[in-house]
Amino acid sequence: MLSIAARRSWRRHAAGYAFVGPALVVLAAFLVYPIGYSVWLSFHEWDGYTPRWGPFVGLENYRALAGDEVFWRATLNSIVFVAVRTPLEVGLGFLLALLLNRRLVARSLLRTLFFVPVVMSLIVVTIIFQRVFEPNTGLLNTFLRAVGLGAFTHPWLGDPATALPAVIAVSVWKNVGFSLVILLAGLQSLPQDVVEAARVDGANAWQLTLRVITPLMRPILALTALLSIIGGLKVFDLVFIMTRGGPTYSTEVLATMLYREAFELNHMGIASAVAVILVALVLSIARVQTFVLDESRAGGKA
């Protein structure tokens, strides 16, 4: 016989599962199961066509990747991509957020327009920028010729040396608005009395920004940076449409390598190993994110 309290708590658990149940089923089917599938497949060999997976090969796929120049190239490119794009995105976003965090004519209009690149679809963005970087009649080279800098015209996406920087530039262009919006919300949530007190004490705009606002913003800046790093590691569309990882793998990143291994080379095991590595990278960064958040929450309470 169940006591009344036990029955009530049983009913509470049942009610909880009744509410999360449907979502849990969908998450299990489209998230949890695929993760398990990918991890398990990464220990196998498979071309994707035979009805059954190939033999279990243990860590062979990972070992093959470790000896694969393209994999290291892709990893390095992913790291360079993130290392260059994140400081630019967060830095420029913070600069614009600081400027927009004052009383200003057309402030909300500016914020709206700065955010337009973020909502534009990547397919649109990449096709426009392909055209901008086009060597003969593209906007960039035409502009350079027009202002007498014809010597600097360049096949931007065709040269392995400039392709990755060009792709990174587009990525920064697309995402500065994202950092801006988060940082602006952060600035507006700062304790106004502290800022006001510093102003009353005679701090000028520079001192205020560098000594008061920036330290207060540190956790939110770190968070924005982490989001940008995670987004950067996941990047696919931009690179895939713009350069397909070329020329000669100069823009290959982990996500494009995964796609190529799976759907062009039919190496399902290897592609799954790349996916697992990518996920491990992203989740370890996300782990840092929760630390930062805990710290900022603790700091906020202190």
Site for another protein in 183-202 (CB under 8 A): 185-186, 189
Indicate the residue among 86 and 224 with the shorter CB distance to another protein.
224
Query: In the bound complex, what is the minimum distance in angstroms from residue 262's beta carbon to another protein?
Result: 5
User: For residues 218-237, which are near another protein according to CB under 8 A?
Assistant: 220, 223-224, 227, 230, 233-234, 236-237
Query: In the bound complex, what is the minimum distance in angstroms from residue 26's beta carbon to another protein?
Result: 5
Query: In the bound complex, what is the minimum distance in angstroms from residue 52's beta carbon to another protein?
Result: 12
Query: In the bound complex, what is the minimum distance in angstroms from residue 259's beta carbon to another protein?
Result: 8
301 contacts another protein (rule: CB under 8 A): no
Q: Is the peptide bond before 87 cis (omega within 30 degrees of 0)?
A: no
**Residue choice 62, 71, 114, 156 for contact with another protein (CB under 8 A):** 114
Q: Interacting stretch for another protein, rule CB under 8 A, among 58-66, 76-84, 144-152, 179-187?
A: 179-187
130-133 contact pairs (CB < 8 A, 24+):
130/157, 130/241, 130/242, 133/157, 133/166
Q: Which residues contact 227 (CB under 8 A, 6 or more apart)?
A: 178, 182, 289
- Residue 197 CA: distances (Å) to CA of 40, 96, 157, 210: 58, 24, 51, 15
Q: Interacting stretch for another protein, rule CB under 8 A, among 58-66, 75-83, 190-198, 254-262?
A: 254-262
CB distance 82 to 233 below 8 Å: yes
Helices (H) and strands (E) in the chain, counts: 15, 0
